């Protein structure tokens, strides 16, 4: 099948580097004489038919910007058969031959349903700060978020040391602690609480009771930790050890914004080019991944419902260094 026109959209939580991926897809398409249509507003725009032609000039000067110029939004309608039919009809009405989707595991799951109902090629590019998409070592946005967290924690540690306080810092990650784990190792946190490891509070209390340096500690808490978020856990610790001067910082959406790092720009550019090359090779319904720093193609059906575990190496690092 000769590809003459593609659609592209971003979905899920925004991630620094999405714009770099959009730029790469658009410029690679134009280089190969393929027209590009931007689908505005994620799955919502997909269903409502919010389309706009993208030229090389539209992606000039965006590689350094966080967020996504195509916007992103969820769609309850897309979860219904009727909504997906509307989305498909919009693709056909606009003569779209294939679609590039940029997003996280939720995007992959939604696409897997769609491609089982309609025969149109999809190529997915993984973009989420959580780096929790399976079969790829890296997702766009992770490095920028990691550096944002480490920079913030380094600053908070100055105050923790000066006032001899214990800071509980909440990191994004409802279902995975990958971001908290890696940032905790990188900033030398005294403790890391993540959803993958249950019943961590007793160990934390033991450490704070017995460690002579406990009064200037950083505890990173993934928001999905089973004991609760940073505020809940801090209150539990305060009740058990009233002598501690406890503070809580929730970094929130600052983790998702900001200028993408060189790593995120480079990976996004590589994945965008690889997505178009895959279409030109008549591949479809795959995700572009990165394994051992090499581009790989993974069938979308293999991505769905397969969580990405924290590596044994990172678990060992935490055990030894923390």
Segments of the chain assigned to CATH 3.40.50.460: 145-256
Going by C-alpha positions, the residue among 38, 91, 27 that lies closest to residue 277 is 27
Beta strands per DSSP E along 223-312: 246-250, 286-291, 294-299
Tokens representing 202? Answer: 């007793």
**Pairing between β-strand 51-54 and β-strand 35-39 as defined by DSSP bridges:** antiparallel
Q: Which stretch of DSSP H or E encloses residue 95?
A: none
What pLDDT score was predicted for residue 113?
Answer: 95
Q: Does 145-256 carry CATH code 3.40.50.460? A: yes
| φ and ψ at residue 43, rounded to 5 degrees | -65, -25
Neighbours of 294 (CB within 10 A): 9
Residue 314 C-beta-side C-alpha neighbours within 13 Å:
16
Going by C-alpha positions, the residue among 117, 130, 116 that lies closest to residue 299 is 116
Task: For the chain of 322 residues, list the mean pLDDT of each consecutive stretch of 10.
Answer: 94 97 98 98 95 97 98 93 97 97 94 95 97 95 98 96 94 91 94 92 91 81 90 95 94 96 98 98 97 97 79 80 74
Output the pTM of the full model: 0.95
What's the CA gap between 128 and 140, in Å, rounded? 6
DSSP 107-173: HHHHHHHHHHHS---EEEEEB-TT---TT-S--BTHHHHHHHHHHHHHHHHHHHHHHT-EEEEEES-
Class of domain 5-141+260-303: alpha beta
What pLDDT score was predicted for residue 213?
Answer: 66
What's the CA gap between 49 and 105, in Å, rounded? 23
What pLDDT score was predicted for residue 62?
Answer: 98
What's the CA gap between 197 and 178, in Å, rounded? 12
| φ and ψ at residue 52, rounded to 5 degrees | -150, 135
What pLDDT score was predicted for residue 315?
Answer: 78
Give yes or no for a contact between 291 and 42, defined as CB atoms under 8 angstroms apart: no
What's the CA gap between 261 and 178, in Å, rounded? 19
What's the CA gap between 132 and 307, in Å, rounded? 7
3-state secondary structure of 187: helix
- DSSP state at residue 174: S
Segments of the chain assigned to CATH 3.40.50.450: 5-141+260-303
What pLDDT score was predicted for residue 305?
Answer: 62
What pLDDT score was predicted for residue 19?
Answer: 98
Going by C-alpha positions, the residue among 67, 141, 142, 78 that lies closest to residue 107 is 78
Tokens representing 118? Answer: 């309609």
């Amino acid at each position: 099948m000769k590809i003459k026109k593609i659609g592209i959209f971003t979905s899920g939580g925004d991630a620094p580097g999405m714009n770099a991926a959009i730029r790469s897809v658009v410029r690679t398409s134009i280089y190969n004489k393929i027209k590009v249509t931007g689908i505005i507003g994620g799955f919502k725009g997909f269903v409502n038919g919010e389309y706009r032609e993208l030229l090389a000039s539209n992606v000039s000067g965006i590689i350094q910007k966080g967020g996504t110029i195509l916007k992103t939004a969820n769609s309850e309608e897309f979860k219904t058969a009727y909504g997906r039919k509307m989305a498909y009809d919009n693709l056909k009405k606009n003569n779209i031959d294939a679609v590039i989707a940029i997003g996280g595991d939720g995007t992959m799951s939604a696409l897997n349903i769609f491609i089982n109902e309609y025969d149109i090629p999809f190529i997915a590019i993984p973009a989420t700060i959580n780096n929790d998409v399976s079969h790829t070592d890296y997702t766009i946005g992770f490095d920028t978020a990691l550096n944002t967290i480490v920079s913030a924690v380094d600053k908070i540690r100055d105050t923790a040391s000066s006032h001899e306080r214990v800071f509980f810092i909440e990191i994004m990650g409802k279902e995975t602690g990958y971001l908290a784990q890696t940032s905790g190792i990188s900033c030398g946190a005294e403790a890391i609480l993540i959803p993958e490891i249950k019943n961590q509070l007793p160990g934390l209390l033991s450490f704070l009771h017995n460690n002579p340096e406990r009064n200037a500690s950083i505890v990173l808490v993934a928001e999905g930790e089973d004991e609760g978020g940073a505020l809940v856990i801090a209150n539990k610790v305060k009740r058990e050890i009233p002598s501690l001067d406890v503070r809580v910082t929730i970094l929130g959406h600052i983790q998702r914004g900001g200028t993408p790092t060189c790593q995120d720009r480079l990976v996004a550019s590589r994945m965008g080019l690889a997505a178009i090359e895959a279409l030109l090779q008549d591949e479809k319904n795959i995700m572009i991944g990165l394994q051992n720093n090499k581009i790989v193609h993974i069938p979308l059906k293999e991505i769905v419902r397969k969580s990405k575990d924290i590596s044994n190496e990172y678990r060992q690092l935490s055990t030894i260094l923390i």
